Amino acid sequence: MRVGDCSRSLVLGAMLAAACVHAVGAQSLDAATVRRIDSVFARFTPETPGCAAGVYQNGRVLFAKGYGSANIEYSVPITPQTPFIMGSVSKQFTAAAIALLVQDGRIRLDDDVHKYVPELPDYGKKITIDQLVHHTSGVRDFWSLVDASGMRQDDGYTVADVVKLASRQQHLNFDPGAEYNYSNTGYVLLGVIVQRASGKSLREFAAERIFRPLGMTVSHFHDDHTQPVRGRAIAYSPLSGGGGGWKINVWNNDIVGQGGLMTTLEELQKWDENFYTGTVGGRTLLSRQLERGVLNDGKQIAYAFGLEIGEYRGLPMVEHSGSTGGYRSDITRFPEQHTSLATICNVSNADAVGLAHRMADVVLGSRFTKPATANVRGAGQVTAPAIALTQSERAAMTGRFYSPELDATYELRDAGDALIVVRARAVDTLRALDRQTFRGSGYTLHFAASNGAPTFTLDAGRIRGIEFTRSK
């Protein structure tokens, strides 16, 4: 049976599903090592969603294998040629596009973002392209804004929607360059900058300057969710309730830059090898990719050009993971060993990072200088002692509060020792931390009085200081 048969056959899909799990193996690893990798992915079967797993070493695919089904409705197995949506693994490609435009002389990293995205408000402080790249801009994260506003995360958002929501934000999370705070909005804006500086969409620019030169014929920024892609993996989440079963979890947005890359395990290796060869971008790009961000106080952060610089078990590591809908992905690179581990999964409860690291444990083994450490779960959130507020204090904190930045209304109700917050499609209970601060379910409200009108600011996820004023 040829490798390609695994992705082409629908008629024989049910029979091929089990066979393909073992057919697309690497000849270069010994059987014992393959069995150990198989055990890492043992929970993924032909009846479940799963992962494509790969090991890239010294310029070649050392191991590539599919576990589970790309489409459980038709029993189509995952193979190394299965296209997946990659989530935030895409950011390194967006950052590379920015770096190539810098090399072309079309943009500068210290350019003010307003030069290319004048729709953003004037915050009184310069925001640079470099700060967007390194998540130090202070620009609020789009998905956190969507969640806080009560909008659905799986609605059909476009890049224009992201720009519009960003343009409503009258404040930043912090002064540009003061902190690191991951922002998907920043990378969507980088995609907009690519388009406006080059005259080509991010999809077109990446195809011309990155994918075609590397022979990545399937890879593209998937900026039209209605476009069919032959053999693609459908993503899933487990049904709630613990009774088994799956539901489809594929978002229908057309946003790219922060994510949106579609690629395969086999083609990802071609990009991984560019890290060493510089076929695209030369030595200049390779050096730029590893430039870590620097804060205003001179502190260097771990985030580089869409890549995180760190170590694993004593070895230097370059990594980025991704998550969107039910897709989970990770590519972990050990430059000194010229070895990378990639996991691309189509189920939301797959720990793509952990799976990649477990493969690294198998493949690199004795090269590590530190032992593997078990994941230690925290003891849980510490419950603050109850704060007894007076009835008049509680009354000042109830009613309907509106935020023009979110175009959303929260209704706050008195529950004695707590506040009940009712917003679109959600009801939360917030406990008092002090006389002005309430927290619960990932949200923190800070109350203050402004000209006699009760107000509060909201911190939630990757957004801070969203202003609300009582409307009645």
- 8 A C-beta contact, residue 167 and residue 189: no
For the ranges 157-161, 232-236, 296-300, 371-375, the lowest mean pLDDT is seen at 371-375
CATH number of the structural domain spanning residue 450? 2.40.128.50
* Confidence at residue 396, expressed as pLDDT on a 0 to 100 scale: 84
Q: What is the pLDDT of residues 295-319, one digit of tens each?
A: 999 999 999 999 999 999 999 999 9
Same structural domain, 324 and 255? yes
Share of the chain above pLDDT 70, in %: 90
Domain for residue 45, yes or no?
A: no
Residues 283 and 137 placed together within one structural domain of the fold: yes
pLDDT, residue 381, reads 47
Structure confidence by residue, pLDDT tens digits, 411-458: 999 988 788 999 877 888 988 888 889 898 788 999 986 566 789 999
Question: Is there a single domain that holds both residue 239 and residue 348?
Answer: yes
Hey, what's the torsion of the CAs at 462, 179, 182, 265, to 10 degrees?
-160
Domain membership of residue 40 (yes or no) is no
Q: Do 353 and 432 fall into the same domain?
A: no
What is residue 387's predicted lDDT score, i.e. its pLDDT?
73
Q: Is 41 part of any domain?
A: no
219 and 140, same domain (yes or no) = yes
Does this model's pTM top 0.85? My answer is yes
> Which of 352, 367, 382 is the endpoint of a domain?
367
> What pLDDT shows up at residue 35?
97
Mark whether 223 and 163 lie in a shared domain: yes
2, pLDDT greater than 80: no
The pLDDT value recorded for residue 4 is 38
Same domain, 159 and 285: yes
- Give the end of a domain, one of 367, 401, 424: 367
Q: Would you say residue 380 has pLDDT above 70?
A: no
Model confidence pLDDT, tens digit, residues 6-17:
433 332 333 333
For the ranges 238-242, 249-253, 268-272, 378-382, the maximum mean pLDDT occurs at 268-272
Tell me, yes or no, whether 206 and 292 share the same domain: yes
Q: What is the pLDDT of residues 121-175, one digit of tens each?
A: 999 999 999 999 999 999 999 999 999 988 887 888 999 999 999 999 999 999 9
**Residue where one domain finishes, among candidates 313, 334, 367:** 367
Residues 212, 127 within the same domain: yes
180 and 265 inside one domain: yes
Q: What is the mean pLDDT of residues 273-300?
A: 98
Query: Quick check: is 9 in a domain?
Result: no
The predicted structure's pLDDT at residue 314: 97
pLDDT band at 471 (very low <50, low <70, confident <90, very high): confident
| Cα separations in angstroms, 348 against 144, 238, 326, 378, 413 | 19, 8, 4, 22, 35
Given this model, what pLDDT does residue 56 score? 98
Q: CA of 242: how far to CAs of 190, 238, 239, 255, in Å?
A: 40, 8, 7, 32
Radius of gyration of the chain (CA): 24
Task: Write the pLDDT tens digit of every residue in 397-419.
Answer: 899 999 999 999 999 999 887 88
Q: Indicate which CATH number applies to the domain containing 263.
A: 3.40.710.10
Separation CA 421–CA 418 (nearest Å): 10
Task: For residue 46, tell me if it sits in a domain.
Answer: no
197 within domain boundaries:
yes
Residue 54 CA to residue 344 CA, distance in Å, equals 9
Q: Identify whether 75 is part of a domain.
A: no
Please give the tally of structural domains in the chain.
Answer: 2
Expressed as residue numbers, the domain containing 428 is 391-470
- State mean pLDDT over 188-217: 98
| Residue 198 and residue 321 in one domain | yes
CB atoms within 10 A of CB 286: 16
Has residue 13 been placed in a domain?
Answer: no
Of 190, 220, 215, give the one whose Cα is nearest residue 203: 220
Please name the amino acid found at residue 381. Q
CA atoms within 13 Å, Cβ hemisphere of 22 = 6
Question: To the nearest whole number, what is the mean pLDDT of the chain?
Answer: 90
Q: What is the pLDDT of residue 472?
A: 66
Q: Are residues 413 and 354 in the same domain?
A: no
Q: Is 376's pLDDT higher than 60?
A: no
pLDDT of residue 415: 87
pLDDT at 196 over 90: yes
